[in-house]
Amino acid sequence: MPLYGKKQFNAINRSVPRIDGYDKVTGRARFAADLSMPDMVYGGVLRSGRSSAKVVHIDTSEALRLPGVLAVVTAADVEKPQSWASYMYITDRVRYVGDVVAWACAETPQQVREALAAIRVEYEELPAVYDMRAALEPGAPVVQEKYPDNIFKESVFHLRKGNVEKAFAEADFVIEREYETQYIEHAYIEPEAALAVQHAGSGEMTVYAAAQNPFFTRRYVADILGAPLNRVQILQQTLGGSFGGKEEGLGLLAARAAWLCRHVNRPVKMTFTREESFLESSKRHPFLLRYKAGIMKDGRIVAWEGTQIDNCGAYNNQTQFMNWRANAHSAGVYSIANVKTDTFGVFTNNVHGGAMRGYSSPQLLFAQEQFIDEIAEEIGLSEVEMRRINCLKTGNQHATGATLSHVTISEVMEHTLAETDYEKKRETYKKQTSSVKRRGIGMAICHRSCGFGAESPDASGAMLIANEDGSVLVHSGLAENGQGLKTAYAQIAAEALGVPYENVQSFGVDTHAIADCGMTVASRGTVMGAQSVRKAGLQLNAVMRQNAVELGFFADMRKIEQVNGLKPYSLDDFSVNSGEQLLLRDGVFYLPDYPAYTVPFNAVTGSGIWAGKQLSSYAWFVPEPCVQDHETGQGVIAPTFAYGCVVAEVEVDMRTGYVDVLHVTSSHDVGTAINPALIKGQIYGGIVMGQGFAVMEDVELHAGKVGNPNLDEYILPTAMDMPNMRVNVFECDDEKGTYGAKSVGEPATEAVGAAIANAVYSATGRRIRKNPAGLEQVLLGKKLSKG
């Protein structure tokens, strides 16, 4: 299938306006930090600021005496200081700078700050380790007692295919390289916030939260309260960005607020400052990536070996999932017969790595796609030819062993290269001699397994409710995080149910009103999460057709004859007695053979409500199982893959090392474009996030301390820095996802950094093996630091 535009649908495949767009652009949207309640008080935390230490003595007496202070809490006061995961709500054993040693609750935020400042803590410093290489040395300080060698053993994965040793021995060339990536902050506009309210009578806890995953947040709140899940309600508020970040840190925040709320018996609001958000939200894991390839003279890669090590920080509950993905994608979008890779996470006394848009792919691609360029140059082949020869094609075996269908990467790549005049520019730029400014062009290709695949069960549920006036509510346990999920779900519900998009409303997640559908992560919301919405829509479509018949809307044959211009009594032998005879499309019921007579959707709902008819549906969707061998990684890892190609053009100031990203073309096979405008929005944002990763973003850690914990010093692209962007949306006939849709949220950003790094090389002849391509890195080949 070619570029977007050839498919036929009613409510999907169209750029309808976002459901929440108007409220957001007019400033009416309410965020968790905007909320307030009668009798509400505030909570805050004291962070140790130390990387590894023991609290020897903590004195809260002075803080407790201050005006307005309702509670000052230390680890000894909390029944369960450790969360259900390794993270600590509060602790007396500090493992990184963000660790919390006390909480305070007071009438005003100012009084909270004063109380926290009045707490006296005496620490005993303990040994610490920060660097991944050092953490792996024998005898290194142990970060988590459960992991004496600092290796997060649940995060160890292997890929084994063919016979790598033999293939290397037979290869004409063997090439090895090492790359390293940095910590990246999500830097969403809205910092984390939660407001906890306990119902006076029932004691039930409600938390209004800036949560990416309300059910995940509920797990933390129920855990700290020791309450059953049915006594904890999380109401997701409008999110000001998340990108994977409002998971663990937000869960800890919501749990602390709930504990304090119960403790002081008042509603408690807690919000992170920007600095706290930098310290306690997860970061994109830094990766140390070593690859070795065996190549034949004709350019075929016959062997691929890799070690992928990521920095978990001090606590972790993501690396084991993320490394599944890193393992499955460890050989790139290439068809290689012999593969052997190992992936594992290492604990250090740093801020913790976690989910961030891309979930290991930006890091891996930064290395792999530069490595492909480096291999090509070394064996004297063009990097384009190298990719043409080796990239996956329909019928090829993936590195995980599955035979692939609908592989569109060649088509997506060729289109992008032709459109950007890539090959000609690449040659032209080789001849530059300027010592001041040089242009460069670079490419990267990528593939991404859609949804959870074999990582985790990819099931979900959805409920549709048709109201008496014909308006429809779609309810899912998956969450709107800014990506446009509410809009996409309303479109999919409308398509499946057969009503106009405008009839459908989608609201945020209330954990009391729907089942846990898993997390809104892994770019699964549309491709897999919406399968249950579609299923519920199709179910309700059938129910409503039957209702239309049973309520007598198709009983008057004279009327049907008349409207269809038929002679009276010509349909005397015909009767409508089953909903299956009808169609419900675009808000009207009709008989396919006599379509002029139509019954509006709201006529049936209007009668149905008084006749006690079912006007709702609930569906649960479970995809076909993906089964994979843990020791070899072989098996089926996902229902399908999304493919993409990015070409970036840069201008490098050869005298200062400044990289100006001029133009980025980003092409993606999205299967079916549910909402092309939202897809483009995702891709534009993904490009700029990729640019930040490639040229400027870097959470600076010095002995575990964050050197740039606010947006004045953490440099990310501004509107002035954005490149010109061109987006190509491809569709294909692959039907595995919802209406054929594939993932796009993460594909949108994952290959951008690699393409820019390759463009920097094209301009300068200098390889950026250590990200990002900042001033010093480009000019001198290394970062500089005071240390």
Among 138, 436, 624, 631, binds other proteins (CB under 8 A): 436
**Closer residue to other proteins (CB): 567 or 786:** 786
Interface segment toward other proteins; rule CB under 8 A; list 294-302, 417-425, 739-747, 778-786: 778-786
**Closer residue to other proteins (CB): 704 or 774:** 774
**Closer residue to other proteins (CB): 417 or 696:** 696
**Closer residue to other proteins (CB): 200 or 719:** 719
**Closer residue to other proteins (CB): 170 or 776:** 776
Shortest separation between residue 651's beta carbon and other proteins, angstroms: 12
**Closer residue to other proteins (CB): 312 or 716:** 716
Window 723-762: contact mask with other proteins (x via CB under 8 A): ----------------------------------------
Among 717, 737, 740, 745, binds other proteins (CB under 8 A): 717
Per rule CB under 8 A, is residue 27 in the interface with other proteins? no
Which helix (DSSP H) or strand (DSSP E) does residue 103 occupy? strand 100-106
Among 31, 84, 620, 658, binds other proteins (CB under 8 A): 658
Per rule CB under 8 A, is residue 715 in the interface with other proteins? yes
Among 6, 200, 380, 719, binds other proteins (CB under 8 A): 719
**Closer residue to other proteins (CB): 227 or 711:** 711
Among 721, 735, 766, 770, binds other proteins (CB under 8 A): 721
CB 96 within 8 A of CB 308: no
Site for other proteins in 384-423 (CB under 8 A): none
> What is the spatial distance between Cα 402 and Cα 561, in angstroms, rounded to a whole number?
56
Among 656, 703, 707, 724, binds other proteins (CB under 8 A): 656
Shortest separation between residue 187's beta carbon and other proteins, angstroms: 13
Window 257-276: contact mask with other proteins (x via CB under 8 A): --------------------
Per rule CB under 8 A, is residue 712 in the interface with other proteins? yes
Interface segment toward other proteins; rule CB under 8 A; list 29-37, 429-437, 525-533, 606-614: 429-437
669 to each of 39, 360, 681, 741, how far by Cα in Å? 52, 20, 15, 9
Shortest separation between residue 653's beta carbon and other proteins, angstroms: 8
**Closer residue to other proteins (CB): 203 or 781:** 781
Per rule CB under 8 A, is residue 786 in the interface with other proteins? yes
Shortest separation between residue 718's beta carbon and other proteins, angstroms: 5
Shortest separation between residue 117's beta carbon and other proteins, angstroms: 5
Size of interface with other proteins, in residues (CB under 8 A):
29
Structure-token pair, residue 82: 């450790």
DSSP H helical segments within 460-530, as ranges? 485-497
Interface segment toward other proteins; rule CB under 8 A; list 18-26, 44-52, 326-334, 774-782: 774-782
Per rule CB under 8 A, is residue 662 in the interface with other proteins? no
Shortest separation between residue 329's beta carbon and other proteins, angstroms: 30
Which helix (DSSP H) or strand (DSSP E) does residue 179 occupy? strand 173-180
> What is the spatial distance between Cα 560 and Cα 764, in angstroms, rounded to a whole number?
75
> What is the spatial distance between Cα 222 and Cα 208, in angstroms, rounded to a whole number?
14
**Closer residue to other proteins (CB): 466 or 648:** 648
Shortest separation between residue 758's beta carbon and other proteins, angstroms: 21
Interface segment toward other proteins; rule CB under 8 A; list 31-39, 304-312, 319-327, 713-721: 713-721
Buried b (16+ CB within 10 A) or exposed e, 328-362: bbbbbbbbbbbbbbbbbbbbbbbbbbbbbbbbbbb
Per rule CB under 8 A, is residue 779 in the interface with other proteins? yes
Interface segment toward other proteins; rule CB under 8 A; list 127-135, 288-296, 351-359, 775-783: 775-783
Per rule CB under 8 A, is residue 522 in the interface with other proteins? no
Structure-token pair, residue 272: 């992170």
**Closer residue to other proteins (CB): 540 or 695:** 695
**Closer residue to other proteins (CB): 21 or 49:** 49
Site for other proteins in 93-152 (CB under 8 A): 110, 113-114, 117
Structure-token pair, residue 306: 């890799």
**Closer residue to other proteins (CB): 411 or 651:** 651
Per rule CB under 8 A, is residue 431 in the interface with other proteins? no
> What is the spatial distance between Cα 671 and Cα 738, in angstroms, rounded to a whole number?
9
The answer, yes or no, to whether the previous bond of 723 is cis (omega within 30 of 0) is no
Of 322, 15, 387, 343, residue with least CA distance to 158: 343
**Closer residue to other proteins (CB): 169 or 780:** 780
Shortest separation between residue 731's beta carbon and other proteins, angstroms: 36
Query: Strand 724-730 and strand 659-669: pairing?
Result: parallel
**Closer residue to other proteins (CB): 118 or 207:** 118
**Closer residue to other proteins (CB): 67 or 148:** 67
Shortest separation between residue 427's beta carbon and other proteins, angstroms: 22
Cα torsion at 85, 87, 92, 94 (round to 10°)?
Answer: 140
Per rule CB under 8 A, is residue 696 in the interface with other proteins? yes
Residue tagged 């945020």 (tokens): 508
Structure-token pair, residue 446: 């990528």
Strand partners, 449: 641
Per rule CB under 8 A, is residue 651 in the interface with other proteins? no
> What is the spatial distance between Cα 504 and Cα 493, in angstroms, rounded to a whole number?
7
> What is the spatial distance between Cα 73 and Cα 50, in angstroms, rounded to a whole number?
19
Of 478, 600, 491, residue with least CA distance to 551: 600
Count the Cβ atoms, other than its own, within 10 Å of residue 382. 15
Buried b (16+ CB within 10 A) or exposed e, 626-664: bebeeeebbbbbbbbbbbbbbbbbbbbbbeebbbebebb
Q: How many CA atoms lie within 13 A of 287 on its CB side?
A: 30
Per rule CB under 8 A, is residue 173 in the interface with other proteins? no
Interface segment toward other proteins; rule CB under 8 A; list 231-239, 290-298, 407-415, 653-661: 653-661
Look at phi and psi of residue 453 and say left if phi exceeds 0, alpha if psi is from -120 to 50, else beta: left
**Closer residue to other proteins (CB): 41 or 716:** 716
Of 744, 711, 733, residue with least CA distance to 448: 744
**Cα angle 177, 181, 185; round to 5:** 170
CB 716 within 8 A of CB 741: no
Secondary structure class of 581 (helix, strand, coil): helix
Of 196, 200, 199, residue with least CA distance to 251: 196
Buried b (16+ CB within 10 A) or exposed e, 282-305: bbbbbbbbbbbbbbbeebbbbbbb
Interface segment toward other proteins; rule CB under 8 A; list 131-139, 228-236, 654-662, 737-745: 654-662
Per rule CB under 8 A, is residue 663 in the interface with other proteins? no
Per rule CB under 8 A, is residue 776 in the interface with other proteins? yes
Secondary structure class of 662 (helix, strand, coil): strand
Interface segment toward other proteins; rule CB under 8 A; list 153-161, 620-628, 644-652, 656-664: 656-664
Structure-token pair, residue 699: 């959470």
**Closer residue to other proteins (CB): 54 or 274:** 274
**Sheet strands (E) in 493-615:** 504-506, 583-585, 588-591, 594-600
Name the site residues for other proteins (rule: CB under 8 A).
110, 113-114, 117, 434-436, 655-658, 696, 712, 715-721, 774-776, 779-780, 784-787
